[in-house]
Amino acid sequence: MSPGGHLVTTAIAGGAALAATGSIPLTAGIVGGGFLIDVDHVVDYVTVESRRELTPAAFLRYYTSGRARRFVLALHSYELLLALGVLAWAIDSMWLAGYLAGAVMHLVLDIAFNGRLTPKNIFAFYSFGYRLAHRFDAEALFGSTPLIVPESFWRSFFLGARIARPRIRRGARSPLVTSVPSESRAPDIG
């Protein structure tokens, strides 16, 4: 999902939690898990990808255009969520419970929206062990589907990328549909 999509859904979830419970720790946890979880993209951008152009526009363009070579994304993993779930239960932490709720929402939205951008297994991608087994290689994990990214920062922030598909003129034949010889067509009835 786009960063803007995560921002909006997190604001709604956090607002609903605050209105329903009045709990600041729960709400702060939801914001952390729903939106701030993406800090691991920044860590990867600087440490793993060795990128030094530290502007929001450069960072966003790099990720949304599919140029990342490696995906470590330590916070985006089932294994971490499971460990934090056990910890939250053991210490009875409202903040951590909120973080888990926000992070689960984040991953579910990522799976639903990012799954359309890859021919690979999007469910497996969110396992740290699976990414490790593939040496965090972006192409092995996510494929190399060409993407179109909006030029404007804000459009890219809120809409994200889409798959580059060839445009077919109206009335033109689709390259995927072949004509069927008339003698092999079923007869018209009626």
In a domain, 32, yes or no: yes
In a domain, 180, yes or no: no
**Distance set, CA 40 to CA 35, 75, 176 (Å):** 11, 6, 41
Residue 70 lies inside a defined structural domain of this protein:
yes
146 vs 123: CA distance, rounded Å: 21
Q: How many domains does the structure of the chain reveal?
A: 1
State residue 78's pLDDT score. Answer: 97
pLDDT at residue 188 tops 70: no
Token reading at 86: 């056990």
Q: Give residues with Cβ within 8 angstroms of 79, minimum separation 6.
A: 127, 128, 129
Q: What is the pLDDT, as a whole number, of residue 148?
A: 80
pLDDT in tens, 47-57: 999 999 999 99
Nearest to residue 122, comparing CAs of 184, 168, 57, 71? 71
pLDDT digits (tens, 9 = 90+) for 157-181: 898 888 877 666 666 565 554 444 4
For the stretch 118-161, pLDDT in tens is 778 889 999 999 999 999 999 998 887 778 888 888 998 898 88
pLDDT at 176: 52
Would you say residue 117 lies in a domain? yes
Closest by CA to 114, choosing from 11, 12, 17, 38, is 38
Dihedral sign from CA coordinates of 72, 74, 75, 76:
positive
Q: What is the DSSP string of 112-155?
A: HHHGGG-SS-HHHHT-HHHHHHTTTBHHHHH----EE--SSHHH
Is 127 a domain residue?
yes
pLDDT (average), residues 57-71 = 89
183 part of a folded domain: no
Answer whether residue 173 is part of any domain. no
- DSSP code of residue 44: I
DSSP code, position 46:
I
Range with the poorest average pLDDT among 5-14, 23-32, 62-71, 129-138: 62-71
Residue 182 covered by a domain:
no
140's tokens: 């092995």
- Report whether pLDDT(182) > 60: no
Contacts 24+ apart (CB under 8 A), 108-111: 109/1, 109/5, 109/6, 109/9, 110/1, 110/76
The domain of 78 spans: 3-165
